[in-house]
Amino acid sequence: MLSPADRAPEFTLPNHEGREVSLTSLLRRGALILYFYPADFTPGCTREACSFRDLHTEIQKVGLTVAGVSPQDADSHRRFRDQHHLPFTLLSDTDKSVIRMYDVDGPLGFGVRRATFLIDQSRNIRDAVLADFRIGAHDAFVSRAIALVGA
């Protein structure tokens, strides 16, 4: 997994609407919380996404943007966003190329590790957490990110 002080690799992936979105475009408005998750509609991933949704107003107040990445296609992401009223971008990494760039591929290439990065506008990783089954660790990470960026 990439660490704080590493430079975040540039990428371009389709979003939930099928439109291409780059890391650079996500960073235009400010720092980014980029999170990787295994799959749409699973209990843990749904809980995590809804947590980001519930904190979204606080996240936006300090100028942060949120984007999630998983291997499902744009149609799955669109349905997942609609069903859970998610106000942020979901990106489709069907070949897991970005997942591998950020070194969050699962053991032996199966699945995706649950990881979250805080990336500044210069593409530097300022903080990161790998929490796999500890979804609450992501809530604490978001609180730290809000405090760090809002300071």
Tell me how crowded residue 62 is: count the other CB atoms within 10 A of its CB: 15
| Residues linked to residue 117 through DSSP beta bridges, in sequence order | 34, 128
Task: Confirm whether 45 is a catalytic residue.
Answer: yes
Identify the active-site residue in 27, 32, 45, 129. 45
Tokens of 21: 């979105």
Across 101-131, b (16+ Cβ under 10 Å) vs e yields: ebebbeeeeebbbbbbbbbbeeeebbbbbeb
Instruction: List Cβ neighbours of 20 (8 Å cut-off, separation of 6 or more).
Output: 12, 13, 14
Q: Which residues are catalytic?
A: 45
